[in-house]
Amino acid sequence: MKIYTIRDIAQMAGVSVTTVSRVLNDRPDVSRATQEKVRRVMAECHFVGNANARGLKQAESDLVAVIIRGRRNPFLNELAEAMLQCAQESRAAFVTEYIDERADEFSRALTLIGERRITGIIFVGSRIDARCAALAEVNIPMVFVTVSTLGTVMEKRASSVSIDDERMAREAVEALIRRGHRRVAVFGGDPEGEDSLALRARGAREVLRAHGLDLSRYVETRLTLSDAYEAALSYFRQSDADAAFCMSDTAAMGVMRALSDLGRRVPEDVSVLGVDGVDIGEYLTPRLSTIAQPVQELARQSVGVLEDMMERGAPARHVTVGAELVLRESVR
Amino acid sequence: MKIYTIRDIAQMAGVSVTTVSRVLNDRPDVSRATQEKVRRVMAECHFVGNANARGLKQAESDLVAVIIRGRRNPFLNELAEAMLQCAQESRAAFVTEYIDERADEFSRALTLIGERRITGIIFVGSRIDARCAALAEVNIPMVFVTVSTLGTVMEKRASSVSIDDERMAREAVEALIRRGHRRVAVFGGDPEGEDSLALRARGAREVLRAHGLDLSRYVETRLTLSDAYEAALSYFRQSDADAAFCMSDTAAMGVMRALSDLGRRVPEDVSVLGVDGVDIGEYLTPRLSTIAQPVQELARQSVGVLEDMMERGAPARHVTVGAELVLRESVR
DNA sequence: GTGAAAGCGCTAACAG
DNA sequence: CTGTTAGCGCTTTCAC
């Protein structure tokens, strides 16, 4: 199978490479006749332009990288899918880049800037921490989704689109308390960071305090099925908690399994509440209660904000979208 | 933030671009001293080579595309992750390319060949059908994972690595029958294709026949949570089936939820058996029985076979790896 | 061991 | 409306 270049096409169509390039880029200044002739030849040869050459030439081509933390994270994948949908209409081309949860997405971003000359970045599911320093000198539009950069070192540089994590955590725990739970366990990440998990921990603490309770039932764990499962297994062996607020649906599933293993029923003995609202949640038995993140909205806004920055040089903006507490069977 | 080119580095290090290029590619013919000097300058500038330029020049760079059908498919994602792991040691660079389940991965492959000059392809979770014709003229190494191309038009051209779908389906249904089930429903895709789902349907049919039963309880559906759920809901409303063999774990989850909605207990009233062995399965209640695909093995073999083809010009090979029937709580 | 120079395929002035 | 020309940043002969 021969791979044709723009030059081959030009020759076959009896025009110059420039003209072919024009047709390729839908430039208006080509006569109908020439255009059709060129298109016909391209179609016959199954011509596909070389992206490397194009990328090399157009230093300013709009290429945005969507960096997703965790290929196995269903929520982030739902979100990425929705973003790519929104990006269809964008003038820019979007490429997804998965990165291991333990890897450093910021240095990866730097590499991407160097090697592919990307002109925009969306960080999906990143944490804001010291590693951000790597981005200090970068001056290309970026937006963080699912985490707010407000009040962090990135505030001025990067936009963010997220739910109000603190408030939603408050609402979640409040709901649990209102339903008679006094011994609320919380499964989350490092409560001292600047990320969304820390905000949720803070929100949970506030509400507990307001009700004369505290965050002493905090279980720090990675939010994976197996880690949350193990954490819950050892925690509930010696705990009288009657509710668990888990900072991701995936973690909640691990916790539910552990409870089941320990002979505790959900929700009769322990209520379980997750975060994210992944589709699998409502297929579980019992159906998982959750704080559903507005995936479409998150996607739409993040792509929109990035475009504003890229096309109109808009300054960093911080958007908060509404999440929804969805009470299903896993909460008593 | 300035983006440095190899030329800048050369200038700063007081050498020629050729030398920098040599260092960049770990060529042996550079003196220790020069090498160190260049490396130091590159490190100081956080130099990252432009992949477009490199890709443009090296028409024969080993770039393989891993085309994955369905970003939301947990099994395929597990598999892709494992493959990328194996690919770390490979000389070739691997890039993942997700494609919608309804899109055409074959024409996408053609485009990738044209625009990124890829030199190898791994199709993850593809179906073999008429669309393959598009690949007829392509002569680059390809391997299909999870589906066998043996006996199809692609047999000579493309390698494949998969489980013995027909046999595993036989084993699955056999296990169900052995446990006293006579009314086995099967949830799968088009039973008349050339893909793995059709093979499974065939295997199921054989065993049923051998036991004086038939495939009349076949429910054709897409193997997603919602589609399988809807299909099962309407099917079980008017069916006396006492077991369901589902051709993916995801579909099995949808079916379990539907059964639960209809007041049928799993496994007391209906046994459910899936395929794939995704990690979430053992966290469900009841724990999902499944035909577990050997993810690591599938990954290792597919990458290995592709490398054999790329580096040694090996002919297409067809590898069958062993799957394992894992009986858990969802089967009586 | 090192450098000069010729492109890879494409786009974008600049002329005509 | 169309063509000529000069690179984008890198690798790779081919000399020295």
Which pLDDT tens digit goes with each residue over A190-205?
998 888 999 999 999 9
Q: Does domain B6-163+294-321 have CATH number 3.30.110.30?
A: no
Give the pLDDT band of residue A170 (cuts 50, 70, 90).
very high
Average pLDDT over residues B94-106: 93
The answer to whether B114 faces chain A, any CB pair under 8 Å, is yes
Q: How far is CA A39 from CA A19, A22, A209, B137, B292, in A?
A: 11, 11, 69, 21, 49
The answer to whether B227 faces chain A, any CB pair under 8 Å, is no
Contacts of A252 (CB under 8 A, 6+ apart): A187, A228, A244, A246, A272, A273, A274, A275, A281, A288, A290, A330
Average pLDDT over residues B318-328: 97
Amino acid B239 CA to nucleotide D12 C1' distance, rounded Å: 70
Say if residue A184's pLDDT is above 80. Answer: yes
Residue in B62, B16, B332 with CA at minimum distance from that of residue B177: B332
Average pLDDT over residues A166-195: 94
Residue in A230, A229, A270 with CA at minimum distance from that of residue A253: A229
Amino acid B18 CA to nucleotide C4 C1' distance, rounded Å: 9
Sequence-separated contacts (24+) of A136-145 with Cβ below 8 Å = A137/B1, A138/A109, A138/A110, A138/A113, A138/B1, A139/B1, A140/A113, A141/A306, A141/A309, A141/A310, A142/A109, A142/A306, A143/A302, A143/A305, A143/A306, A143/A309, A145/A79, A145/A83, A145/A298, A145/A299, A145/A302
Please count the residue pairs, one from chain A and one from chain B, whose beta carbons lie less than 8 angstroms apart.
117
pLDDT of residue B267: 94
Q: DSSP letters along A242-288, please?
A: -EEEESSHHHHHHHHHHHHHTT--TTTT-EEEEEE--GGGGGSSSPP
Q: What are A63's strand-pairing partners?
A: A93
Question: Identical fold at B6-163+294-321 and B165-293?
Answer: yes
Residue pair B281/B249 in contact (Cβ under 8 Å)? The answer is: yes
Amino acid B17 CA to nucleotide C6 C1' distance, rounded Å: 14
Distance (Å, whole) CA A122 – CA A67: 6
CB contact under 8 A, A285 and B257: yes
Say if residue B165's pLDDT is above 90. Answer: yes
Give the pLDDT band of residue B290 (cuts 50, 70, 90).
very high
pLDDT of residue B132: 86
Distance (Å, whole) CA A223 – CA A266: 19
Which of A127-131, A210-214, B46-50, B304-308 is predicted with the least confidence, judged by mean pLDDT? A127-131
Residue pair A40/A85 in contact (Cβ under 8 Å)? The answer is: no
Residue B14 sits at the vertex; the CA angle it makes with B9 and B16, to the nearest 5 degrees, is 70
Q: Could you check: is the Cβ of residue B88 within 7 Å of any atom of nucleic acid strand C? A: no
pLDDT of residue B134: 86
User: What residue segments make up the domains of chain B, in order of their start?
Assistant: 6-163+294-321, 165-293
Q: Mark the nucleotides of strand D covered by protein, meaning any atom under 7 Å from a CB.
A: 1-5, 7-13
Contacts of B201 (CB under 8 A, 6+ apart): B169, B186, B188, B189, B191, B215, B218
Give the pLDDT band of residue B179 (cuts 50, 70, 90).
very high
| Range from A60-64, B51-55, B86-90, B292-296 that averages highest in pLDDT | B292-296
Q: How far is CA A306 from CA A41, A143, B250, in A?
A: 37, 6, 34
Residue pair B289/B326 in contact (Cβ under 8 Å)? The answer is: yes
At residue B79, φ and ψ (nearest 5 deg) are: -65, -45
B74: preceding bond cis by omega (within 30 degrees): no
pLDDT of residue A211: 95
The two tokens of residue A258 are 């552990």
Sign of CA dihedral B85, A280, A124, A175: negative
pLDDT of residue B60: 74
Give the whole-number percent of chain B exceeding pLDDT 90.
Answer: 86
pLDDT of residue B129: 86
Q: Report residues 23-52 of B contacting strand C, contact meaning Cβ closer than 7 Å.
A: 28-31, 33-35
pLDDT of residue B67: 97
pLDDT of residue B130: 85
Give the pLDDT band of residue A129 (cuts 50, 70, 90).
confident
Say if residue A277's pLDDT is above 90. Answer: yes
Average pLDDT over residues B309-321: 94
Contacts of A16 (CB under 8 A, 6+ apart): A10
Place of tokens 């010291």: A130
pLDDT of residue A61: 75
Q: B110 to chain A: which residues are within 8 Å by CB?
A: 46, 48
Distance (Å, whole) CA A101 – CA A124: 11
Distance (Å, whole) CA B13 – CA B11: 5
pLDDT tens per residue across span B44-65: 999 999 999 999 988 777 899 9
Say if residue A120's pLDDT is above 80. Answer: yes
Query: How far is the first Cα of chain A from the last one, in angstroms, to the nearest whole number?
Result: 64
Average pLDDT over residues B185-202: 93
Give the pLDDT band of residue A97 (cuts 50, 70, 90).
very high
pLDDT tens per residue across span B217-251: 999 999 999 999 999 999 999 998 999 999 999 99
The answer to whether B249 faces chain A, any CB pair under 8 Å, is no
Sign of CA dihedral A217, A223, A225, A227: negative
Say if residue A107's pLDDT is above 80. Answer: yes
Residue pair A173/A245 in contact (Cβ under 8 Å)? The answer is: yes
Say if residue A60's pLDDT is above 80. Answer: no
Give the whole-number percent of chain A exceeding pLDDT 70.
Answer: 100
Distance (Å, whole) CA A275 – CA A294: 11
Average pLDDT over residues A259-269: 95
The answer to whether B108 faces chain A, any CB pair under 8 Å, is no
The answer to whether B31 faces chain A, any CB pair under 8 Å, is no
Name the residue of chain A whose CA is nearest to B117's CA: A50
Give the pLDDT band of residue A156 (cuts 50, 70, 90).
very high
Q: How far is CA B99 from CA A151, B107, B129, B282, in A?
A: 38, 11, 17, 28
> How would CATH label the architecture of B165-293?
3-Layer(aba) Sandwich (3.40)
What is the enclosing helix (H) or strand (E) of A116? helix A105-116
Q: Choose, out of A5, A71, A265, the residue to mutate when testing the contact with B (most B CBs < 10 Å).
A: A71
Average pLDDT over residues B4-28: 93
At residue A278, φ and ψ (nearest 5 deg) are: -70, 150
